[in-house]
Chains A and B, each alone.
Chain A
């Protein structure tokens, strides 16, 4: 079943067409990768899906938990997050000065049912909700071995752990669809392997659909069910990892073509 569909979304910045007529369809429980050379418009595509940008034309359609198709084009990022789409960022965007624990607890705020006054006065039903959230955060942090570091400020963590923390923070919003923007950027091969393992593990455990941008081909080819390739804002190929590896246009886009070929 489709969980996310983009209906020819286009993003223009002045005269520059960053993404042109992008058609993507992601099915539930899939891991789909979006690859392409630098400046191909991958992050712009993510930003359109998560509401940071409103597409110049086209629609984004998301199937929510109840199975209804929802038009999320141009909705606020916070509203889209509430519908069950969470994301990470290419250049890590943690709440740097806050503790690891607070970082993840903040992601629980969108599920808070208590109104403002009962939260401020710590009334019993708010406290009950918080205890539930605390238990879930504890479980998540233990999963990535960050529980012992929960009091540390987020920026003081090593790079790899910051990446993990960002993913865990996104998971704490209980998403159905998780968008990862270059999760393995700056990681060494060993860390990349661990991350590959981690991504497929959380997919199964939390019944997620994952859509990711990635440059590490081992990771992409290793776990993706399907791949979309973008170049200069155009989709130049899509298919299974094997199909993509043998696609001439993809090879041309990545390696260049000889003049006389």
Chain B
């Protein structure tokens, strides 16, 4: 009975969000639309990164590389064939792919699959490593992907990047992708495979003794993560309307690392919250970039770039005092939410009391 109530509430929430997406799409200006779109794309990539880093406990920093693959597949195949000679003006496009056109949804899926394939190839040697070594190796591979893209001039237009991607600015379109990916990852984590992933995070030796094939499961998590990072990267490219190798520097990965650490490593709802906070939060802090006059005096600190200082301080405070992020490994549940609404002040105390 309780399950049915929660399911109905979740469906209502999704419908509510979709209605909101509809509203944002038609009733707000392009700036708000852009922030909302970026929030959702970052949420997708944050979720994908949380699958390897948060749930499976494998510290991978290759997300930017997988995003680049997805974004470039979208870039290469969704530019209208007629516009291609103008885009590839330095060196003509390879004739094998010059006439292939795909609609965006197909290009996204192809990009995801290609990213998953690359993840499989990388994963075979790399997933034998642990901890910091894995992080360094995945970081290296992500840079290799970027450099290969930069040098494959006739396919990717090299350092010039691909322009004239039909711009995607439909909030509903991105929302549907985000919702489907969110539901899929939630269902996956709550399945037997999700539990196996968590077991690997908790104790590899014990997981192996319980019959969980470490390599197979790590590789699986890595590939699914790359698949969704590819889709997220494709949406990112379509959102920007242009892809360029410099967009996918390894520093991009740290945005998502930030999102999952902030939201909570190993929490799906945490990643969503983290994505919104980081993306929208950075926008709200823009007031600090504007010059400020107080009582006729110009406050000297308020200049472009100051919001990053504020943001960094906020982050440090959060990491120092709230080490497990906002959600930790917990998830948002309706039961807790209802308990919170009924008694907002007693909520945190009551939980502590139960533990003791």
B193 touches A81 (CB 8 A): no
Chain A residues with CB under 8 A of B188? 119-120
Chain A residues with CB under 8 A of B220? 116
Task: Name which residue of chain A comes closest to B328, CB basis.
Answer: A97
Chain B residues with CB under 8 A of A52? 205, 209
User: Can you name 27 A-B residue pairings with CB atoms under 8 Å?
Assistant: A77-B209, A78-B209, A78-B212, A79-B213, A81-B209, A81-B210, A81-B211, A89-B206, A93-B203, A94-B202, A95-B202, A95-B207, A96-B203, A97-B329, A102-B198, A106-B199, A106-B210, A106-B212, A109-B192, A109-B199, A110-B212, A119-B191, A120-B187, A120-B193, A121-B184, A126-B192, A173-B211
Complex Cα–Cα for A112 and B213 (A): 13
Which bracket fits the contact residues of B?
Answer: 20 to 34
Tell yes or no: A122 within 8 A of B by CB.
yes
| B binding-site residues for A, Cβ under 8 Å | 184, 187-188, 191-193, 195-196, 198-199, 202-203, 205-214, 220, 329, 355
Which bracket fits the contact residues of A?
Answer: 35 or more
Q: Min CB distance, B25 to chain A, in Å?
A: 29
Most buried by A among B187, B191, B202, B211: B211
Tell yes or no: A87 within 8 A of B by CB.
yes
B187 touches A106 (CB 8 A): no
Complex Cα–Cα for A102 and B206 (A): 14
Q: Min CB distance, A145 to chain B, in Å?
A: 20
Please name the 4 residue pairs, one residue from A and one from B, whose CB atoms are nearest each other, closest first. A110-B211, A81-B211, A95-B202, A93-B206
Task: Name which residue of chain A comes closest to B193, CB basis.
Answer: A119
Scan A97-114; emit 1 where CB is below 8 A from any B CB, else 0.
Answer: 110001001111110101
Q: Min CB distance, A180 to chain B, in Å?
A: 12
Chain B residues with CB under 8 A of A170? 210
B198 touches A95 (CB 8 A): yes
- A76-B213, A120-B187, A126-B191 known; A109 and B196 CB under 8 Å? yes
Complex Cα–Cα for A32 and B98 (A): 71
B203 touches A95 (CB 8 A): yes
| A binding-site residues for B, Cβ under 8 Å | 50, 52, 76-79, 81-82, 86-87, 89, 93-98, 102, 105-110, 112, 114, 116, 119-122, 126, 130, 133, 156, 169-170, 173
A106 touches B195 (CB 8 A): yes
A93 touches B205 (CB 8 A): yes
Task: Name which residue of chain B comes closest to A115, CB basis.
Answer: B193
Task: Name which residue of chain B comes closest to A110, CB basis.
Answer: B211
Q: Min CB distance, B61 to chain A, in Å?
A: 23
A95 touches B209 (CB 8 A): no
B208 touches A78 (CB 8 A): yes
Chain B residues with CB under 8 A of A108? 192
Complex Cα–Cα for A109 and B188 (A): 14
Complex Cα–Cα for A110 and B217 (A): 12
Q: A98-B198, A126-B192 are in contact. List 5 more A-B contacts (CB 8 A).
A: A78-B208, A82-B211, A93-B203, A95-B199, A96-B203
Most buried by B among A77, A82, A108: A77
